[in-house]
Chain A
Amino acid sequence: MMPVSRLTLVLASTTLVLGACRKKPVVAPQTETPAVVAPPPTRPATTTPAARDTMEEYRTKLAATRARLLETIYFEYDADELRDDAKSNLDAKILVLNANTAVKIRVAGHCDERGSDEYNIALGRRRAEAAKRYLTDRGIDASRIETASFGRERPAVQGTSEESWSRNRRDEFEIIAGGDQLRAQ
């Protein structure tokens, strides 16, 4: 029974890390070693502590890698130019994509509610294309990146403040192929 409960524990901590990363509102520095649930010290071990730590570390790294690839980037009002923080974010994605050539992603552009609703569909498309162009200009094969727009139709947060709007002007990233083969960086 022990291996099963160990696995459950590891999965749970992975989910925690993933969840925590996804909920980050705006661009934030990646935590290299996020907190994980420590194994109970008194529990009889089926693997050596060293091997277990390595396993833990790897899963943590894998979760961080996935989170980096999926992390949302943000835009200024009415703009499709990539901000500096968005570029750093995309640079980090390039490392992941170069190390995982089977992975394909979809970039979906979104807008806040302020512009014309129908024009926002075009603006969201340009935001997605801006990210795609940045990645392909730096060597990622265009066939690995799909793009889409949801205009203002699927806001990340509700509200009519700049705080809400700034979180809705964004590109969301999704793994559409090769996610099960993703390797930690």
Chain B
Amino acid sequence: MPQMTSFFAPRRVLPFRVVAVALSAIAVLTVGLMVPSRAEAQAQPPGVSLSTRYVAGQKTSVIVLPVNGTLGDSVATMLSRDFDYSDRFNVVSTSSAPMVNGPPNYALFSKLGVDGIVQATLLPSGWVRVALHDVSKKAVLNSKDFPLPSPTLSPAWRAAMHGVSDAVEEWITGQRGIAQTRIAFTRGGRVWIVDSDRANVMPATPSGMSPQWLPGGRGLVYSVLDGVRNPIMMTDLGTGSQRTLASSSGIEHSSPAVAPDGRTVVYARGSDTGTDLYAMPLEGGAPRRITVGRGRASTQPTFSPDGQRIAFMSDRSGHPEVYISDLDGTNAELLTAAAFGDRDYRAGPDWSPDGRLVAFQSRNGGTFQIMTINLRDQSVKFVTNDGRNDDPSWAPDSRHLVFSSTRSGTRQLWIVDIETGRSRQLTFGSEARLSAWSPRLLSQ
């Protein structure tokens, strides 16, 4: 079934038939499917439906009950927003829910069109207890107590709450969410970090651009174009310490990529012989040359999930295209092939964590749009169509992308769900660009 085909939401409520399978003491769920037939979906007149929400009959409706206590509003709001931003649920407004003490009136919620109820309770210990109710089964499906660090509402507390959202999402869909992630980006000549829900915008480095995350989110690798030694740097986000990885006078080191095992960094090295990719061990050691461009440029590397291959952009053919090669530069092949006609500029590849897709930017009608190419069948899809869009970076779910766009005026970061096409603005204020989505940040 094509992913980008528009399936619009039928307004009727879907039953929440749940098959629970015990697997390593974790209940993995399959949400019941009452999929409208293809004909039924196509019968929906275009333009009449509510939104661009992806449904295909599978989107579960959830509601977060109001939460008692002074932090109750914050908890309910964060959970609701995280579920909404996951683009996997129809989120029913908390304000339409009655305050519930004890078991909820399932019949009432069934009438509201709710499949799942998320009930959070702040415990005296500072932990939060979260129960997920299956409305059609009239039963609690799962319940767990989660620790919340103090002080409340601090970045660490918010990160832990996002982790709660992600766990509940896993109870329902079988796949952990991406709320507990951050996005590093470039603004005003330094690297910043923002939470996935736009909170906690903070500078992370004194200078630099083009950040990339180390495994586990423990640090960032980035480049500094200072006109002197133009180094590749690494910062430890725990201690704030900075370390130089590659640096030499009169050379531009730029566009780093970190191997999935965190042991190797690949970057572009610009000198009088051109701009080529080099690999070096993160712990130090001699750089090893990957590409030999003879004056042409290769840059913007990205690793395959198994760390064995890289995609990168090169103008070796006379104009910028995306290539794939082994990590030592051999077996290079053009990925973005001639099917693009006169759209002669492709750049900024990023390999999806599930290995299926490479996202990139392609010039169309004088400006850039984000596209994906499927590595199995080479099929391509447009992800954006509004403004200028650059430098996509995948979320850990291989479904959301962050990129910069001029669609709201100044260049800002936006997030798009490639399944639904739904997008939201992540940054506001002065220009933001060259971003990287963190891996899941499990430990806090």
Contact = CB atoms under 8 A, between A and B. Distances in A.
Interface of A: 78, 108, 115-119, 121-123, 125-126, 129, 132, 146-151, 153
A115 B363 CA distance: 9
Contacts of B299: 118-119, 121-122
A151 B210 CA distance: 13
Given A122-B270, A126-B295, A149-B252, A117 B225 contact: no
B227 interface: yes
A117 B184 CA distance: 16
B347 interface: yes
Contacts of A78: 345
A110 to B, nearest CB: 11
A148 B274 CA distance: 11
Interface string B303-315: 0000000000101
B361 interface: yes
Nearest to B404: A117
Contacts of A126: 274-275, 295, 297
Nearest to A133: B272
A118 B272 CA distance: 17
B347 A119 contact: yes
Contacts of B270: 121-122, 125, 149
B184 to A, nearest CB: 15
A141 B268 CA distance: 27
B255 to A, nearest CB: 4
Contacts of A148: 227, 250, 252
Contacts of B169: none
Contacts of A125: 252, 270-271, 274-275, 297
Interface in B234-284: 250, 252, 254-255, 268, 270-272, 274-275
14 contacts: A116-B300, A117-B434, A118-B254, A118-B347, A118-B434, A121-B299, A122-B270, A122-B274, A122-B297, A122-B299, A125-B252, A125-B270, A129-B272, A149-B252
A150 B227 contact: yes
Nearest to B293: A122
B66 interface: no
B209 interface: yes
A13 B1 CA distance: 75
B320 interface: yes
Given A116-B300, A119-B320, A129-B272, 4 more contacts: A117-B391, A119-B300, A121-B255, A125-B274
A116 B320 CA distance: 10
Interface in B388-441: 390-391, 433-434
Contacts of B391: 116-118
A177 B320 CA distance: 37
A78 B347 CA distance: 14
B348 interface: yes
The 8 A-B pairs at the shortest CB distance, nearest first, are namely A122-B297, A122-B275, A116-B347, A125-B270, A118-B255, A121-B254, A118-B300, A119-B347
A151 B345 CA distance: 17
Contacts of B252: 121, 125, 148-149
Contacts of A150: 225, 227
A132 B272 contact: yes
A121 B225 contact: yes
A105 to B, nearest CB: 13
Given A121-B252, A121-B255, A116 B313 contact: yes
Interface in B182-240: 189, 209-210, 225, 227
